[in-house]
């Protein structure tokens, strides 16, 4: 039995080697070539279809009226802001050097708060214009009028911001 057990592993190894070598047998030409066939070659030229240019639809008359109304509201609140800013300048100048909590300082703070309230009206017009812009953009409508008015109102808000920053820094300094 000992002889048989020692003979089995070499025999199994020879059998496995023979099976592996059978896989390396020479091709007899019965298998197709793996080279590219004529049907697999790219031929011809495909031209993409040119899309028609996008032409946005015009804004509705109601929307155009709303845009003009928002512009008028922004200009009106900006004019109120400028009028209140003149009064606030006087009160901030009077509060210079006064300590926090002094009567002049409190009056100047109230004036600045009033300015901030008026500024928020201009910002509300700008926010409504932003909403109209987003809606028009997603619906594929013409944007020229909204962009123009929005740019004008944004300049008004920027001017108000600069003026408020200036007055706040004067009061703090």
Domain architecture of the chain: domains with CATH: 61-172 (1.10.132)
Calpha distance 163→81 (Å, rounded): 10
Contact 119, 32 (CB under 8 A): no
CA 19, distance to chain mean position in Å, is 65
| Residue 1 predicted with pLDDT over 60 | no
The burial class, CB within 10 Å (0-12 / 13-18 / 19+), for 3 is exposed
Q: 55 is written with which tokens?
A: 């032409």
- pLDDT of 84: 94
| Residue 43 predicted with pLDDT over 80 | no
- pLDDT of 128: 97
- pLDDT of 172: 79
* Lowest mean pLDDT across 60-74, 92-106, 128-142: 92-106
Residue 57's DSSP bridge partners are 141
CA 165, distance to chain mean position in Å, is 28
Tell me, yes or no, if the pTM score tops 0.85.
no
Q: 76 is written with which tokens?
A: 């009106």
Counts for the chain of helices (H) and strands (E), in that order: 4, 0
Contact 140, 54 (CB under 8 A): yes
Contact 105, 95 (CB under 8 A): yes
Calpha distance 149→67 (Å, rounded): 7
Higher-confidence residue of 37 and 102: namely 37
Q: Mark out the alpha helices in the chain (DSSP H runs).
A: 2-22, 61-95, 103-139, 144-172
């Amino acid at each position: 039995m000992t002889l048989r057990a020692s003979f089995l592993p070499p025999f199994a190894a020879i059998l496995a080697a023979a099976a592996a070598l059978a896989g390396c047998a020479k091709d007899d030409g019965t298998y197709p070539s793996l080279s590219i066939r004529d049907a697999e070659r790219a031929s011809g030229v495909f031209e993409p279809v040119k899309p028609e240019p996008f032409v946005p639809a015009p804004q509705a008359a109601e929307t155009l009226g709303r845009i003009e109304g928002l512009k008028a509201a922004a200009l009106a609140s900006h004019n109120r802001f400028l009028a209140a800013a003149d009064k606030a300048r006087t009160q901030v100048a009077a509060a210079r050097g006064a300590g926090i909590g002094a009567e002049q300082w409190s009056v100047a703070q109230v004036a600045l708060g009033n300015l901030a309230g008026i500024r928020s009206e201009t910002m509300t017009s700008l926010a409504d214009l932003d909403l109209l812009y987003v809606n028009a953009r997603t619906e594929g409508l013409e944007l020229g009028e909204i962009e123009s008015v929005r740019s004008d109102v944004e300049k008004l808000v920027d001017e108000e911001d600069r003026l408020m920053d200036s007055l706040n820094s004067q009061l703090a300094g």
